[in-house]
Structure 1
Amino acid sequence: MWKRSMLVCVFLIGVFSTSNAQAAGLNYVAIGDSLAAGQTPNREIGAGYADLIAMALQPVSYSKQLSVPGYTVEQVIKQVESDAGKRAIQSADLLTISAGANNLLPLIQNDPTRGMLTFNAITAAFALNGVREDYAVLLDKIYALNPDVDVYAMGYYFPYPHVFDQHKPAAAEQLDILNEIIKQEADRAGAVFVPVADRFGTDAVAYLPNPADVHPGPAGYLAMANAFLDVYAPASPAIPESVLDQLPEPVSLTELMKKAADGEGNEEEPVEEEQTAAVEGCTKEEVSAMAS
């Protein structure tokens, strides 16, 4: 069992910045699941879409400490309710959320060797209804802590491009419903929905290289970051693909788990067994350090 959360500062290379005035003086916090944390297709934590957004906006401070692989919406709510969560939300100017996929995807059985997907539609519908209820609670709690924060709710992509085409439509429909629920709850609360599904489609094997894993590689995270920028700052340039050649090496989850079990990060609160890693972001100075 995990004893302490593992904090890792991802030192991003300051090779891209936007002239967008909205970015000046921002405190950016990313919360949610493994996508917010930057999990790779190979069970590592690396530079995900949130890190790329931070690279582009160059905020005064940036953290993804509240982003935990495997977390459902209910668990993300608990993160927000924690002392660390309250402090982070209250100090944030910009907040991105990835939450909801872990309520649904465990119900979809992916057989990568046979290219097949199976799931129970009734069970999936029940889970999606739970997402609707929990997402409303999540957004309400965030705005209760910080009524002035700009919240962007990230949508999800279709994560099974390697299966046979005849197995895609039914599962894709469930992801469409999930995205619609997130959008509806974001609209209701005054947040902004960021669609990413159209950038991936159902055949994005270049973005999702591991048939047995639902997490994107760097190119997929870049697509998500640029989807955010299209909504947040439409006049700003896209993050160039050349950035992908200069990202820091990811850290394996096994290594993070070992370090956490050895007692590193003793200043942090205990975490639950499901937690894989909490990843802290960097200050503006740290983000820019390698560019100087």
Structure 2
Amino acid sequence: MLKRSIVGCLLCLSLFGTQTGHAAGLNYTAIGDSLAAGQTPNREIGAGYADMIAMSIQPEAYSKELAMPGYTVDQVIKQVESDAGQRAIQSADLITISAGANDLLPLIQNDPSRGMLTFNAITAAFALNGVREDYAVLLQKVEELNPDANVYAMGYYFPYPHVFDQHKPAVAEQLNMLNDIIKQEAESAGAVFVPVADRFGTDAVDYLPNPGDVHPEPAGYLEMANAFLAVYAPGSPEIPKSLLNQLPEPVSFAELRKVAAKQEVEPERSEEEVAAVEGCTKEEIYTEGRLES
């Protein structure tokens, strides 16, 4: 039994006294990559920005089963097109999306021991063009499945605060272009873009403590959740930092794989249900540079 499991604790939203007001009848679904899943800097799945949003707005239903570490925009599209994905999107009133970073970050070589970043500008430009095309398709798929849902596209932060300052500007510009693409495609599709980069800057070592990992600690996810609330409910109070003391313990990939393996032998569970354990697939891929490593 997982101690203070993500499955158990994150569904007990009424335990947390941080809500901006109970959203009666609201169904919130978070889709995308490991940021939507809540991956920590230590290869675990914990309470991410989507969970903190849910703790704040207290929807009637909440799921992040379509949030998969390492997924590119194209893979998120395939998730949405699956039977489980279609059901989740069709039943949602509020949808947040994190997608695009895994199309770009694998092309950036981070050498944490030397504080250096390198990348090929031509290859990166090609990848960003692919993000533009795929993100438009993703938003179109969501619109076709549920034209009434309120869709919010999350931006990205600069994930390499530990490198030397002279290596930051060129890569930061690539992230800025990624955010611009997401913003443009979101606005074209009638969705809302949520900027988060300014809340991190390029020196956010407190939010991103592991030089070899691009995922934030809970305080960083709290910044992302509050960035969402700033555009979702302008003027509402921010989620207080005291929430960080109430979060469930994160669960390691190894523990999640054990749960997934155990569920595989339960015949009443569907393939889609077995494949996702609170935002982490049973077939984890540990590719350096992706938002899962």
TM-score, reference length from structure 1: 0.88
| Residue 155 of structure 1: how far off its partner (Å) | 0.1
Unaligned runs of 5+ in 1: 1-6, 281-292
Which residue identity lines up with residue 8 of structure 1 in the other structure?
A: V
The answer to whether the 8 A contact 1:68-1:278 is kept is no
Determine the C-alpha separation between the residues in 2 that align with 1:202 and 1:170: 12
Which residue identity lines up with residue 7 of structure 2 in the other structure?
A: V
Which residue identity lines up with residue 180 of structure 1 in the other structure?
A: D
Determine the C-alpha separation between the residues in 2 that align with 1:121 and 1:265: 47
The answer to whether the 8 A contact 2:21-2:58 is kept is no
Which residue does the alignment assign to 2:3? none
**Of the candidates 18, 21, 24, which is equivalent to residue 20 of structure 2?**
18
1:142-178 alpha-carbon deviations (Å, 9 max, x no partner) = 0000000000000000000000000000000000000
Which residue does the alignment assign to 1:8? 7
Q: 1:225 to 1:157 in 2, by over 3 A?
A: same
Determine the C-alpha separation between the residues in 2 that align with 1:224 and 1:181: 19
Determine the C-alpha separation between the residues in 1 that align with 2:110 and 2:199: 22
**Of the candidates 268, 271, 274, which is equivalent to residue 269 of structure 1?**
271
Q: Does 1:43 align with 2:33?
A: no
The answer to whether the 8 A contact 1:10-1:46 is kept is no
Which residue identity lines up with residue 141 of structure 1 in the other structure?
A: K
Per chain length, whose mean CA-contact separation is higher, i.e. which structure has more relative contact order (CA < 8 Å, sep 6+)?
A: 1
Q: How does 1:213-252 map to 2 (within 5 A)?
A: 213-252=213-252
Determine the C-alpha separation between the residues in 1 that align with 2:153 and 2:277: 19
Which residue identity lines up with residue 172 of structure 2 in the other structure?
A: A
The answer to whether the 8 A contact 1:155-1:196 is kept is yes
Which residue does the alignment assign to 1:147? 147
1:243-262 alpha-carbon deviations (Å, 9 max, x no partner) = 00110000001111233234
Which residue identity lines up with residue 90 of structure 1 in the other structure?
A: Q
Determine the C-alpha separation between the residues in 1 that align with 2:235 and 2:166: 39
| Residue 15 of structure 1: how far off its partner (Å) | 2.1
Unaligned runs of 5+ in 2: 1-5, 280-293
Which residue does the alignment assign to 1:73? 73
Q: How does 1:35-114 map to 2 (within 5 A)?
A: 35-114=35-114
Residue 26 of structure 1: SS of its match in structure 2?
A: strand
Which residue identity lines up with residue 15 of structure 1 in the other structure?
A: G
Q: 1:271 to 1:248 in 2, by over 3 A?
A: closer
Q: How does 1:101-180 map to 2 (within 5 A)?
A: 101-180=101-180
1:240-288 alpha-carbon deviations (Å, 9 max, x no partner) = 000001100000011112332344484132699xx8x5416xxxxxxxx
Determine the C-alpha separation between the residues in 2 that align with 1:33 and 1:90: 20
Determine the C-alpha separation between the residues in 2 that align with 1:265 and 1:83: 21
Length, aligned pairs only = 269
The percentage of counterpart residues that share the same residue type is 76
TM-score, reference length from structure 2: 0.88
Determine the C-alpha separation between the residues in 1 that align with 2:188 and 2:48: 28
| Residue 9 of structure 1: how far off its partner (Å) | 4.7
Determine the C-alpha separation between the residues in 2 that align with 1:208 and 1:218: 10
Which residue does the alignment assign to 2:284? none
| Residue 10 of structure 1: how far off its partner (Å) | 4.2
| Residue 212 of structure 1: how far off its partner (Å) | 0.4
Which residue identity lines up with residue 187 of structure 1 in the other structure?
A: E
The answer to whether the 8 A contact 1:37-1:278 is kept is no
Which residue does the alignment assign to 2:187? 187
1:38-88 alpha-carbon deviations (Å, 9 max, x no partner) = 000000000000000000000000000000000000000000000111111
1:201-235 alpha-carbon deviations (Å, 9 max, x no partner) = 00000100100000000000000000000000012
| Residue 14 of structure 1: how far off its partner (Å) | 1.6
Determine the C-alpha separation between the residues in 1 that align with 2:38 and 2:101: 14
Residue 212 of structure 1: SS of its match in structure 2?
A: coil
Determine the C-alpha separation between the residues in 1 that align with 2:45 and 2:140: 29
Q: 1:121 to 1:269 in 2, by over 3 A?
A: same
The answer to whether the 8 A contact 2:21-2:56 is kept is no
1:26-47 alpha-carbon deviations (Å, 9 max, x no partner) = 1000000000000000000000
